[in-house]
A = this chain, B = another copy of it.
């Protein structure tokens, strides 16, 4: 459905960039899951712009949970999170001529909604909405953590500058994920990270922007989750990942690189270790036939460069049939790749909560069914 995704655990997203607030509803999560406002605040902080590289609109993200949590735990009924918008300068928009910003949804929203859309700051299409997803995902991530499942995302590349990839073993990846959650610019190689930041500043100085890739790993997923065909793990995850603004590519395991490999290189040999089936490599990204095989989930996404740039751009008017030249002013990130990392973590958490609950039942995350 349009702004609702999930079957056993579903998230509904609402709000606009310059409306009173944004928010979301998470429905179907097991009762009894601990909800840490601190963990939500930390996740939101990771998404918030920081430092020279980012937009100057800084929202405090003073979220409120207004339903579904009682005495610090989920009740099992819908959890609603509201995040007020406080830093919106709507008057900037009301009187400006309406031009379609290339690369944005301005034009397509105008066609679809016949001019009734709230266009200010991108309206419902704004990256601002992802704050609500991050808050929801933080609750989902906590539920997963209680089952030993952890998710981490690092910047795989920005402007062509590449970070070290995730390590090979579960143990190492788990340690890496632990370090990522503390970083607002999540890279493994500090040196490469600095080069990326220089590339961002260079683009910014030219009124331009840069893109990049993110790599995500999930440790602890049990084997046997997912479905043949239309609910494959890849189908479900890509559905959500492609709903994150600016994502234009998703690949699992070795992804596009597999296209140039031989089957003998691509297949993951299977062995037995401590009585458990394991794969010796993980080219498949932890998914065989759409179903988890017990190895770490591994995928990469492509984030296009921020379309909001300060260079002059050829475009059209939205109020008359007329060509125009756009000169953007205001607050815009020259790069959103690092800010997208917690969003990817969040949507991954929500999809996995859904698939696990669908497979193992609605009480999967409940302390009632997980005696410690």
With A1-B10, A27-B4, A264-B309 already in contact, the answer to whether A243 and B210 are too (CB < 8 A) is no
With A75-B113, A103-B284, A112-B76 already in contact, the answer to whether A67 and B245 are too (CB < 8 A) is no
Roughly how many angstroms separate A230 CA and B5 CA in the complex, as a whole number? 6
Using an 8 Å CB-CB cutoff, how does the interface string of A8-45 with B read, 1 for contact, 0 for none? 10101111100111110101100110000000000000
Roughly how many angstroms separate A116 CA and B73 CA in the complex, as a whole number? 7
Roughly how many angstroms separate A14 CA and B23 CA in the complex, as a whole number? 12
Roughly how many angstroms separate A3 CA and B4 CA in the complex, as a whole number? 11
Which residues of A142-198 have CB atoms within 8 Å of chain B's CB atoms?
157-160
Q: Is the CB of A248 within 8 A of B239?
A: no
Residues of B within 8 A of A3 (CB): 25, 27, 77-78, 227-230
Q: Which residue of B lies closest to A277 (CB)?
A: B316
Q: Is the CB of A2 within 8 A of B28?
A: yes
Q: Is the CB of A23 within 8 A of B77?
A: no
Q: Is the CB of B1 within 8 A of A117?
A: no
Q: Any chain B CB within 8 A of the CB of A60?
A: no
Which residues of A230-244 have CB atoms within 8 Å of chain B's CB atoms?
230-232, 234-236, 238-240, 242-243
Q: Is the interface of A mostly helix, strand, loop or mixed?
A: mixed
Q: Is the CB of B16 within 8 A of A77?
A: yes
Residues of B within 8 A of A118 (CB): 70, 75, 77
Q: Any chain B CB within 8 A of the CB of A268?
A: yes
Q: Is the CB of A260 within 8 A of B20?
A: no
Q: Any chain B CB within 8 A of the CB of A306?
A: yes
A-B contact pairs, 14 of them (CB 8 A): A13-B229, A16-B67, A102-B267, A104-B289, A108-B288, A114-B367, A212-B259, A230-B239, A238-B238, A242-B252, A251-B251, A251-B256, A266-B305, A275-B321
Residues of B within 8 A of A288 (CB): 103-108
With A271-B316, A302-B251 already in contact, the answer to whether A67 and B107 are too (CB < 8 A) is no
Q: Which residue of B lies closest to A367 (CB)?
A: B114
Q: Which residue of B lies closest to A231 (CB)?
A: B2
Would you give the shortest CB distance from A372 to chain B, in whole angstroms? 14
Q: Any chain B CB within 8 A of the CB of A263?
A: yes
Would you give the shortest CB distance from A356 to chain B, in whole angstroms? 9
Q: Any chain B CB within 8 A of the CB of A121?
A: no
Which residues of A265-292 have CB atoms within 8 Å of chain B's CB atoms?
265-272, 275, 277, 279-280, 284-285, 287-292
Q: Is the CB of A258 within 8 A of B254?
A: no
